[in-house]
Structure 1
Amino acid sequence: MGRQRLTPPTPDAGADPAQDRRFVTALARGLALLRCFGPADRWLAHQALARRSGLPQATVSRLTFTLCSLGYLRHRAATGEYALGPAVLTLGFSMLSNFQIGRIARPFMEALAEHTQAAISLGVRHDTSVVYVAHCRSTARLLLGLDVGTRLPFAETAMGRAMWCASTPGMRALIARRLQAEDAVRWPAREAGLRRAEADHAQCGYVASASEWEQEIAAIGVALDLGDGREPLALTVGGPAARLRGALLHEDFAPALVRTGREIVAAIQAAAWED
């Protein structure tokens, strides 16, 4: 008799993993501390980490000591500030090098970038944010200085709204709870934007955002449902709001985006079948 393969437990879709007895709160807090660092952050003070993470300063002290000991953070004693350590880069590069979806999608994204002369991005959801896993720029001069690893808000972006529209009711409920807990004051406006996106998606097959997360930047997005039970990804076309509008956007760029999304899904599914 062959050995039985053990499948690691995974959270149920739509359930709050923090309520599960298998959830390790200390680990979650440590990862939350690492997520406090944005693309523009080199060093952050202890107080900034506590404020951004929402954790007590005593907890931050214990976590930073542990993360520094393991190489995930560096400490500058002269100022009391912290920076991400080499161990974080090792994890990131390992994930990206094995993220075959981005590799498969890139030729399609490059073709769409040249067609639209805009920025094309592929992303996944991470808690209440979206994260770029692939990004292509056209040869045109753009205002978007974004790249792989960029983290953007979920509710205010075309990428997040596209994911929302393709998510299951249970997953939507979980995301809504997270967004409301993150900022109860902003939640009504965020919810209204997500509901508008649902209506747009039902009518047009894509969603949009305009100057909502960054001034003068607009984007349209579609979800990529791979049909294997995982959360949907999203593909977006982004650029200056003054250009991404009118007939050019809705009669040219949007159909090209929808078509490219279908081509990427078909290519990923074909590659999975071959494997």
Structure 2
Amino acid sequence: MGRQRRPAEGPAEPDPRQDRRFVTALARGLDLLRCFQPKDRWLPHQELARRSGLPAATVSRLSFTLTALGYLRHRPATGEYALAPAALTLGFRVLTNFELGRIARPHMEALAEQTQAAVSLGVRHGTEMVYVAHCRSTARLILGLDVGTRIPLAPTAMGRAMWSAADAGLRALVLRALQAEQPRDWPRLLEGLQRAEREVAQRGYACSASEWESEIAAVGVGVDPGDGREPLALTVGGPAARLQGALLHEQFAPALVRTGQAIVDAIQSGGWQD
């Protein structure tokens, strides 16, 4: 919402990983922590290696260090790891101080009840989107996701909505990362993002129906604070069997667009501080 596209702001930003100040070991340690999803409790060493894409020996060194610092817990009998309180505290501090969630929540709750669907607000992290606020309706069939959930950027309505509200520099950064991480899927991912850009220009919102998960459909809008910071994205989603056709595009999408604009207005009038 707000400005759907920002004008180009000069040449694309350089890849920070190529900067001599970039600490690869620190980045890998954070990548290891991000392997844990909301549903995970304990993960074995080999699963951490698989999810992170790091060599087993590197995972061993990183997990030992993170355990010593209190960010991971280790169960020697099984060789499994779990997030420890130090890691959880980092996330809770961010969410506690995330003023935008407080501003957006009343609008999101009203939309969730109106649509009887799940309403989510997310920010970009790398090539993923992270839920920072989530509202469920009283309906029985709704998405079981929650704050802290990470979903892929390119095939989802949330990611596509953020993409369509981003400036040229941010888009270039995301494209480089996607192409490097998923070279085989790159043409399909790029086509989906470009299609979303056209959709937003034509009707004001992005859509993803059974493209990320076959049973999920969602529509999304960008939420641009208007002060130069990255746009967020607001979505309405639920079972694809229900969210389709006129219900999705003629009822839910217009309500989503209005809610997104109401949140932008509230942010700009309330002086969001994060």
Alignment coverage as a number of residue pairs = 264
Aligned to 1:266: 265
Aligned mates of 1:191, 1:150 — CA distance in 2: 23
Aligned to 1:9: none
Aligned to 1:25: 24
Structure 1 segment 193-272 matched on structure 2, within 5 A = 193-272=192-271
1:122 aligns with 2:114: no
Could you say which structure has the greater relative contact order, defined with CA pairs below 8 angstroms and 6 or more residues apart? 2
Aligned to 2:141: 142
Question: Please, which runs of 5 or more residues in structure 2 have no aligned partner?
Answer: 1-10
- Are the equivalent residues in 1 in contact too, given 2:73–2:83 (CA < 8 A)? yes
Q: Deviations over 1:113-165 (max 9, x none)?
A: 11111110000011111010000111111231111111111111000000111
Give the CA deviation at 1:14: 3.4
TM-score under structure 2 normalisation? 0.92
Aligned mates of 1:115, 1:249 — CA distance in 2: 13
Give the CA deviation at 1:40: 2.4
Deviates more, 1:21-30 or 1:230-239: 21-30
- Are the equivalent residues in 2 in contact too, given 1:120–1:237 (CA < 8 A)? yes
Aligned mates of 1:18, 1:265 — CA distance in 2: 33
Aligned to 1:152: 151
TM-score under structure 1 normalisation? 0.92
- Are the equivalent residues in 2 in contact too, given 1:14–1:172 (CA < 8 A)? no
Aligned mates of 1:260, 1:13 — CA distance in 2: 32
Give the CA deviation at 1:248: 2.0
- Are the equivalent residues in 2 in contact too, given 1:15–1:170 (CA < 8 A)? no
Aligned to 1:36: 35
Aligned mates of 2:241, 2:55 — CA distance in 1: 44
Q: Secondary structure at the match of 1:239?
A: strand
- Are the equivalent residues in 1 in contact too, given 2:155–2:211 (CA < 8 A)? yes
Aligned to 1:74: 73
**Which AA in structure 2 matches 1:41?**
D
Distance 1:188 1:273, change over 3 A: closer
Deviates more, 1:57-66 or 1:232-241: 57-66
Q: Secondary structure at the match of 2:271?
A: helix
**Which AA in structure 1 matches 2:151?**
L
Distance 1:54 1:273, change over 3 A: closer
- Are the equivalent residues in 1 in contact too, given 2:136–2:142 (CA < 8 A)? no
Aligned mates of 1:272, 1:248 — CA distance in 2: 35
Runs of 4+ in 1 over 2 A off after TM superposition: 12-15
Q: Secondary structure at the match of 1:48?
A: helix
CA RMSD after TM alignment: 1.7
- Are the equivalent residues in 2 in contact too, given 1:132–1:148 (CA < 8 A)? yes
Deviates more, 1:38-47 or 1:69-78: 38-47
Give the CA deviation at 1:22: 2.2
Percent identity of the aligned residues?
Answer: 74
Q: Deviations over 1:169-218 (max 9, x none)?
A: 11111111111111111111111111111111111110000112222210
Aligned mates of 1:44, 1:14 — CA distance in 2: 36
Question: Please, which runs of 5 or more residues in structure 1 have no aligned partner?
Answer: 1-11
Deviates more, 1:247-256 or 1:30-39: 247-256
- Are the equivalent residues in 2 in contact too, given 1:50–1:60 (CA < 8 A)? yes
- Are the equivalent residues in 1 in contact too, given 2:12–2:168 (CA < 8 A)? no
